[in-house]
Amino acid sequence: MKEFLIGLGVLFVIEGLIFAAFPRAMRKAMLAALDHSETALRVTGLVLAIGGLILIWFLRFGLAQV
């Protein structure tokens, strides 16, 4: 649970820095998301979530053996 909260904190830091450094680009990206279908957004979210889980798995178990 501690590692999850650390990861969530890192996510917040990265998101916050991106919004602080590039507010106009982030607003443009959010408006562009409104033009996409719910299905496209859902598929994108699932692909990114699965990719993140695979990355975490490799870092924790796969690459740790090397």
Distance separating alpha carbons of residues 16 and 38, to the nearest angstrom: 25
Q: Residue 40: what pLDDT?
A: 95
For residues 11-38, one letter each, b for 16 or more C-beta atoms within 10 angstroms of the residue's C-beta and e for the rest, the string is: eeeeeeeeeeeeeeeeeeeeeeeeeeee
43 falls within a domain: yes
pLDDT at res. 59: 83
Residue 9 has pLDDT above 90, yes or no: yes
Please give the tally of structural domains in the chain.
1
Task: Give the model's pLDDT for residue 65.
Answer: 61
User: Residue 2 pLDDT more than 70?
Assistant: yes
The residue segments making up the domain with residue 53 are 23-66
Residue with tokens 């990114």: 48
Q: Is residue 2 part of a domain?
A: no
> Using one digit for the tens of pLDDT, what is the confidence trace for 28-50?
999 999 999 999 999 999 999 99
Mean confidence (pLDDT) of the chain: 91
